[in-house]
Structure formats: structure tokens, C-alpha cells
Amino acid sequence: KVYNQIFLESYSKSFPCIIKSNKSQHYAFCNVCGLDFKIAHGGNSEIKDHIRTKRHKEIAVCVNKNEHISKYFASGSDADVMRAEVYFTSFIVEHNLPISVADHAGPLFRKMFPKSDVAKKYGAGRTKTAAIISKIADVKKASIVESLQKQMFAVATDGSNDTDAQLYPIVVSYFDANAGEVKVSLLAVPTLDLSSTGQNIGNLVLKTLKLKNIPLENCLALSCDNAPVMVGSKNGVA
């Protein structure tokens, strides 16, 4: 019989940024990354592995810088307010809401929670929200690339001619060890300025992977539609 490790309160004492997850007793939640990750197999060792990840280290550096900078600004820049602004920005992104929603968030929160100091100081309008999204995206992309550099993955692409140039969104499928599940993520949206031949499309995908230092041998499969330019026996990408 297999016994899975459950979250122990001692973990939070050893790692203050790690708390119990609402997802399951076999998960932990990182306050720095805002991420649930599985600890069922290694418990304490899996927490150490998470803290050593590039993603966690980069976010921790940003948090430390923000806390240092906050000393030179008004109290509205305290950690609780920044955390609230990041969480609501993540909500906007997750539910694909227009960024203009952020202009109304602060006034709404102050009406909903008139006694809350955080609501009174909330100040992320559309401009600040866009900046937060940009930073979150950088951290997320770095995390995806780090995973693809270490393990096997599948890639998918298809052309879009909504603009004068052909866009080829590159989507990757890979196993996220921290989350304990398969993830499907947008890696990049490169532009193809040449004609849309199988060779040019294939070179575009390979170039994108190489620019991010992702080993080509880690790519196990290509997913695409059945257009001749993609799967043709002579000149197709596949």
C-alpha cells in the first residue's frame, strides 16, 4: 500500500512562506509564488525542491525589492496592498477580463469594504495593472522555459493571418512537477515574414526553441491541422 505524505504544521515553521493548501492535504501553498504544489511523495524534500526553483527565486527577489522600496514611499505601498493588487490582476488575466476593469476595482473595493485599510489604499488602475501583468508574464514564461529545458514536451502551432504578417502561436504541453499535472501553455507568438511553406514554418518553430535554449531533443511530438503545408509527405512541417 502506498502512503502519501500530508501537510504538516512543522513545514510552516521551517519554511514561513509555505502554508497549508486549500486544494488537498497532499499539497502545500507558497505565499511567494501564489502556487499550490504537490508534496505527496517527498514532503519536506519537495518543499526544498520548490524553493530552489528558478521561478521561486525570481519572485522572492522581486518581493524583497518591493518591500525595500516601500520604505521610501507612503504606507499605501505596503505588502498587503501589493499582494491584493497582484491577486486581483491575476483574477483579471485568468478570467480574460478587459484591463479597463481595473479602473473601477479600487472604488468598488472601498464601497464593499469601507473599514478595510487595504481597500482604502488599493491603487491598481489600468496602467499599473498592465505593468503587473507584464511582470507576471515574464516570471511565468521563465518558469515554462525552465521546465522545457529539463524534460520532454509536445509542441503545437497553426497560422493566423489576422494581420499583414503570419502569426504562429506556439503552444507546449508538458508535465509540471510542482503542480503534479500536465500543463498546456502558450510559449511564444512569433511572426513569419517569409512565405508560409513547410520549411519556413518548421524553421520558425525551431528558431523559437533555440532562442530560448530549449533542447530540440526534448520535443517528442508536433500537433497541427491536416493542411498539406503542415503534414504533406514531401514539404510538410511534420
The answer to whether position 72 is within a domain reads no
Same domain for 189 and 156, yes or no, is: yes
Global pTM?
0.58
| CA separation for the pair 33, 198 (Å, rounded) | 40
| CA separation for the pair 157, 204 (Å, rounded) | 11
- Count of structural domains within the chain: 3
pLDDT at position 65, please? 52
- Model confidence pLDDT, tens digit, residues 104-143: 999 999 999 999 988 998 989 999 999 888 888 888 888 8
- Model confidence pLDDT, tens digit, residues 35-55: 888 888 888 899 999 888 888
Cell of 158: 497553426
134 Cβ neighbours under 8 A, 6+ residues apart = none
pLDDT at position 178, please? 74
The answer to whether position 44 is within a domain reads yes
CB-based contact 4:41 (threshold 8 Å): yes
CB-based contact 155:218 (threshold 8 Å): no
The answer to whether position 38 is within a domain reads yes
Give the residue ranges of the chain where pLDDT is below 70: 1-2, 62-77, 161-165, 228, 232-238
The answer to whether position 161 is within a domain reads yes
| CA separation for the pair 97, 94 (Å, rounded) | 8
166 Cβ neighbours under 8 A, 6+ residues apart = 159, 160, 191, 192, 196
Domain span holding position 112: 79-136
pLDDT at position 161, please? 67
The answer to whether position 128 is within a domain reads yes
pLDDT at position 69, please? 43
DSSP, collapsed to helix, strand or coil, labels residue 147 as helix
The answer to whether position 73 is within a domain reads no
Same domain for 58 and 89, yes or no, is: no
DSSP character at residue 216: G
The answer to whether position 15 is within a domain reads yes
pLDDT at position 135, please? 84
